[in-house]
Amino acid sequence: MPDSRLTDGSKDTVSGGHDTEFSALSVVVPVFNEELSIRETLEELRAAMPSAEIVVVDDGSGDGTARILSEMQDIVGITHARNRGYGAALKSGMRAASREFVAWFDGDGQHRPGDLVAVARPVIHGEYDAAIGARGPGSSQTIERLLGKWLLKMLAESLSGEEIPDLNSGLQCFPRRLIRRYVHLLPDGFPASTNTTLLLLERGYRVGFVPIQTRERKGTSKIRLMADGASTLKHVVRMVVLFDALRVFSILGLGLMLPGLIYGLAVALIKGQGFPTLAGTVVISGLLIILIGLVVDQVTELRKERFEEPWD
How far separated are the first and last CA of the chain, in Å rounded?
Answer: 24
Mean pLDDT across 101-115: 93
Question: Rg (Cα) of the chain, in Å, rounded?
Answer: 23
pLDDT, one tens digit per residue, over 143-164 is 556 666 667 777 777 766 788 8
Q: Residue 9: which region, alpha, beta or left (left: phi > 0; alpha: psi -120 to 50)?
A: beta
Non-local CB neighbours of 84 within 8 Å, separated by 6+ positions = 59, 60, 188
Average pLDDT over the chain reads 83
pLDDT exceeds cutoff 90 at 79: yes
Higher pLDDT, 57 or 193: 57
Is it the case that residue 183 has pLDDT exceeding 50? yes
Is the Cα torsion angle 232, 119, 1, 184 positive or negative in sign?
A: positive
As to burial, measured by CB atoms within 10 angstroms (0-12 exposed, 13-18 middle, 19+ buried), residue 9 is buried
In this structure, of 40-44, 97-101, 175-179, 216-220, the range with the lowest mean pLDDT score is: 216-220
- CA angle centred on 28, ends 23 and 32, rounded to 5°: 150
Beta-carbon contacts of 196 under 8 Å, excluding residues fewer than 6 positions away, are 172, 174, 179, 182, 186
Per-residue pLDDT at 280 exceeds 70:
yes
* Other Cβ atoms closer than 10 A to 216: 11
The per-residue pLDDT for range 116-133, each reduced to its tens digit, is 999 999 999 999 999 999
The pLDDT value recorded for residue 16 is 43
Tell me, what's the pLDDT at 306?
Answer: 64
**Is residue 104 classed exposed, middle or buried when 0-12, 13-18 and 19+ CB atoms within 10 A define those classes?**
buried
Widest pairwise Cα distance in the chain = 83
Least-confidence region, from 196-200, 246-250, 302-306: 302-306
- Among 244, 93, 96, which Cα is nearest to 170's? 93
162-182 confidence digits (pLDDT tens): 888 888 888 999 999 999 888
Q: Looking at residues 250-265, what average pLDDT do you find?
A: 91
How far apart are the C-alpha atoms of 116 and 212, rounded to whole Å? 9
Closest to 87 in 3D by CA, of 32, 138, 9: 32
Q: What are phi and psi of 231, to 5 degrees?
A: -65, -40
- pLDDT value for 309: 61
Mean pLDDT of 228-247: 71
pLDDT at 1 over 80: no
Better-scored residue on pLDDT, 139 or 245? 245
Report residue 10's pLDDT band, with 50, 70 and 90 as the boundaries. Answer: very low
pTM of the model: 0.74
Distances in whole angstroms, Cα of residue 66 to Cα of each of 38, 58, 153, 164: 10, 7, 35, 36
The DSSP 8-state label assigned to residue 267 in this structure reads I
Most confident of 10-19, 83-92, 141-150, 237-246: 83-92
- Torsions phi, psi of 217, nearest 5? -70, 155
Which CATH code of 1.10.3720.10, 3.30.930.10, 3.90.550.10, 3.30.2320.20 fits the domain covering 5-223? 3.90.550.10
Task: Work out the pLDDT band at 65, boundaries 50, 70, 90.
Answer: very high
Is the pLDDT at 222 greater than 70? The verdict is no
